Structure 1
Amino acid sequence: MAEVVAIKTSVPRGPVAASQADGILRLTLANPPANALSLAVMAALKGEIDKARNDKTVRVIVLAAAGKVFCAGHDLKEMTAHRADADRGRAFFERTFAECSALMQAIVNSPKPVIAEVDGLATAAGLQLVASCDLAIATQDSAFCTPGVNIGLFCSTPMVALSRNVSRKQAMEMLLTGETIDAATAREFGLINRVVPREYLNQVVTRYAQTIASKSALTLKVGKEAFYAQAEMGLAEAYDYTARVMTENMLARDAEEGIGAFIGKRKPEWKGE
């Protein structure tokens, strides 16, 4: 992997703090202790991800959190307050889950790879956030759960991202029991990529981010889009689709440059086209 260079952070207080260095955009949930996904937090996070979409200076996005909890899911106090509405909160609940779904899809559909840097508990929609990222690195003290069943609210929307990361039996185990799994089990399930000591978390995530940022931005965009598209297809359709993607990718200037550099034993110069 690429040499580690520390990311300088100078983040303002707010629902989501943003900093950028070396092509890496770091977004930090900054409303501890719960870092709950209120409407304001989801809007701020999606806004930053959308803004980065066409920003050529951003190559990789890292999602992190301040405090001991990565993300406790939806803001239940905010939602409960709307039970006093004339419709018992229906409109607000619909808006909340729609905004959450839009946020998760923005992460998946972003042309920039997104890495979750997890240190603490990720529960319900917080777990959904982790599962929606392309990669996830967690500390040994991190934990994960979909506890909705314990409070009479099945984690149906988190289930979408969860079931696309782990096997059906493992997903149903988490969803039906509501029990918390530790980081080692989460890695065994396939929910996260690596488990590291807390003191090395930022270093390891930075190393991953810098390694990815050193690649062609166009190639990363093409590959990420194709990965999620083919995953929803049948085998024959997936091969037909990816063969077309590979052909177009081969015709890209960056592929021509990269192959030429490999043959010529030199470092490629990416143009993003």
Structure 2
Amino acid sequence: MTARPSPAASVPPSPAVPLRERLQDGILRLTLADPARRNALSEAMMAALQAALERAADDPAIRVVVIAAEGPAFSAGHDLKELTARRADPDRGRAYFADIMGRCARLMTTVVRLPKPVVAEVAGVATAAGCQLVASCDLAVAAETARFSTPGVHIGLFCSTPMVALSRAVGRKHAMEMLLTGEMVDAATAFRFGLVNRVVPAAELAAATDALAATIAAKSPLTLAIGKKAFAAQAEKGLDAAYAYTASVMVENMLARDAEEGIGAFLEKREPRWEGR
């Protein structure tokens, strides 16, 4: 009987740090840096992203987070070689698969709940959990060369967890079309579906993303945090409950120092000086 290869032999090593970080003018740029594995959301990549986002949440110097990638793929989703290697486990990988899906869910919810806006910068292909990551971000800027898909149906594995983010970012029928067919969607179609906010020539992608991020970073960080949290919360409520909730948010926001400063600056026709409180 031929022995199954060990997990270590089956999976090529990731870079020691598969994520690059750069902070400039209040914008933290996180670049997925494992192009040889198409920036798969491996254990190492998810851990690096999770740690970077958790640090960003509490860093007052960071106003906006941009998630970008090296190479022709934004992210190919879960590392299938890493997953397949664990089929040699006594439970055929059940515990490991559950752990990985849990880690991925935690990462995506961290993006959604981060008190800073998160912008995806997509130059190439974003598939499966990579598409899920784009859908989880607050905004997305795509190059004309970008493409998106949830291709699990091609390999007998429905993209159930990517479905959560996708169905909250695009219309129901568009989401089901992507999930049921697994077909690639070009950048123009992704824009029409509502998966991305802007489509630009590839050569202008980084500049366009930075310009959008800079526009947001110039706003009150307290106001951005209040608004992002409220947006997600009200979307899960019925109409009356949503209005009641957001009215209470508006009252607390009006009492904040930054709202007082911002309204005063508007009336006095000057630039506001944000204090983040």
* TM above 0.5: yes
8 Å CA contact retained: 2:17, 2:48: no
Q: Does 1:170 align with 2:170?
A: no
8 Å CA contact retained: 1:13, 1:30: no
Greater CA deviation, 253-262 or 33-42? 33-42
Residue of structure 1 equivalent to 2:254 = 250
Residue of structure 1 equivalent to 2:10 = none
1:75-90 to 2 correspondence within 5 Å? 75-90=79-94
Distance of 1:217 and 1:117 partners within structure 2: 21
Q: Does 1:124 align with 2:128?
A: yes
Report the 3-state secondary structure (helix = DSSP H, G, I; strand = E; otherwise coil) of the residue aligned with 2:39: coil
Q: Does 1:181 align with 2:181?
A: no
Report the 3-state secondary structure (helix = DSSP H, G, I; strand = E; otherwise coil) of the residue aligned with 1:164: helix
Report the 3-state secondary structure (helix = DSSP H, G, I; strand = E; otherwise coil) of the residue aligned with 2:98: helix
Distance of 1:88 and 1:13 partners within structure 2: 28
8 Å CA contact retained: 2:166, 2:175: yes
Residue of structure 1 equivalent to 2:264 = 260
What's the CA shift for 1:13?
A: 7.1
Residue of structure 1 equivalent to 2:162 = 158
Distance of 1:59 and 1:103 partners within structure 2: 19
Q: Give the percent of matched residue pairs that are identical in Structure 1 and Structure 2.
A: 63
Alignment length, in residue pairs?
Answer: 262
What's the CA shift for 1:251?
A: 0.2
Distance of 1:234 and 1:206 partners within structure 2: 36
Q: Does 1:32 align with 2:8?
A: no
Q: How far does the alpha carbon of each residue in 1:224-250 deviate from its partner, in whole angstroms, 9 at most, with x for none?
A: 000000000000000000000000000
Q: Does 1:44 align with 2:52?
A: no
8 Å CA contact retained: 2:63, 2:221: yes
Q: Which amino acid aligns with 1:19?
A: R
Q: Which amino acid aligns with 2:98?
A: E
What residue ranges of structure 1 are gaps of 5+ in the alignment? Answer: 1-11
Q: How far does the alpha carbon of each residue in 1:89-116 deviate from its partner, in whole angstroms, 9 at most, with x for none?
A: 0011001100000000000000000000
Residue of structure 2 equivalent to 1:16 = 19
Distance of 2:199 and 2:171 partners within structure 1: 20
8 Å CA contact retained: 2:86, 2:92: yes
Report the 3-state secondary structure (helix = DSSP H, G, I; strand = E; otherwise coil) of the residue aligned with 2:183: coil
Q: Which amino acid aligns with 2:172?
A: R
8 Å CA contact retained: 1:142, 1:183: yes
Q: Which amino acid aligns with 2:26?
A: G
Q: Which amino acid aligns with 1:18?
A: E
Q: How far does the alpha carbon of each residue in 1:186-239 deviate from its partner, in whole angstroms, 9 at most, with x for none?
A: 000000001100111011100011110000000000000000000000000000
What's the CA shift for 1:14?
A: 2.2
Higher relative contact order (CA 8 A, sep 6+): 1
Q: Normalization by structure 1: what TM-score?
A: 0.95
Distance of 1:142 and 1:252 partners within structure 2: 41
Distance of 1:177 and 1:203 partners within structure 2: 34
Residue of structure 2 equivalent to 1:210 = 214
Distance of 1:138 and 1:80 partners within structure 2: 31
Point out 4+ residue stretches in structure 1 off by more than 6 angstroms.
none
1:102-117 to 2 correspondence within 5 Å? 102-117=106-121
Distance of 2:194 and 2:150 partners within structure 1: 15
Distance of 1:226 and 1:155 partners within structure 2: 28
Q: Does 1:55 align with 2:46?
A: no
Distance of 2:151 and 2:214 partners within structure 1: 35
Q: Which amino acid aligns with 1:188?
A: R
What residue ranges of structure 2 are gaps of 5+ in the alignment? Answer: 1-14
Q: How far does the alpha carbon of each residue in 1:172-192 deviate from its partner, in whole angstroms, 9 at most, with x for none?
A: 101001100100000000000
